[in-house]
Amino acid sequence: METSQEYQVDLNWKEDQNARVSAVVFNNAIEIAPHSCLKNLNGDVWSAEHLFIAAIESSYMTAFFRTAKNKGIKCKSFKSTARVSILMSDEHAEITDIIIRATVTIDQSKQINRTLKIFPVCKDHCLVLNALKIRVHIFPSVIVAQ
């Protein structure tokens, strides 16, 4: 059965202020720098590039959880770090590679190999990554809870 969903995010910027993004379904807004972090880095405000990386990383996490649940693997925790490589020239900037280092904690040591096999599959089931034409490298690790 096919279904569709729509998401809406609203952005508001005024002169001499940071932009704010919000969605009707949330009570809070996120403050965003009105400039690229490639030129001016403001440590207190997220840039569009930071939000982009966060979207990739959180989409990968949800794909992992969905796949793990379908395979009967119970996760205790998920932690990851995502980094992007950006190629810059005078005319443009381009993201060339994304590296995701993910660590999952599970209950049973007998599920380590099955869990490790999920990581590359999740890349194909990740909504945001499927929309991009960027090389993605996944470096997984699995920890068994004590």
CATH number assigned to the domain comprising residue 123: 3.30.300.20
How confident is the model over 63-75, as pLDDT tens digits? 999 999 999 999 9
Percent of the chain with pLDDT over 70: 95
Task: Say if 96 falls within a structural domain.
Answer: yes
Q: Where are the beta strands (DSSP E) in the chain?
A: 10-12, 19-22, 30-32, 75-88, 93-106, 135-144
| pTM for the full predicted model | 0.83
> Based on the structure, what is the number of domains in the chain?
1
Range of the domain at 129: 48-144
User: For residue 92, how far is the Cα from the chain centroid?
Assistant: 23
The listed range with the strongest mean pLDDT (4-8, 92-96, 104-108) is: 104-108
In a 3-state reduction of DSSP, which class is residue 96? strand
Average pLDDT of the residues in 122-131: 84
Percent of the chain with pLDDT over 90: 49
What is the pLDDT, as a whole number, of residue 91? 82
What is the pLDDT, as a whole number, of residue 35? 74
What's the Rg (C-alpha) of the chain?
Answer: 18
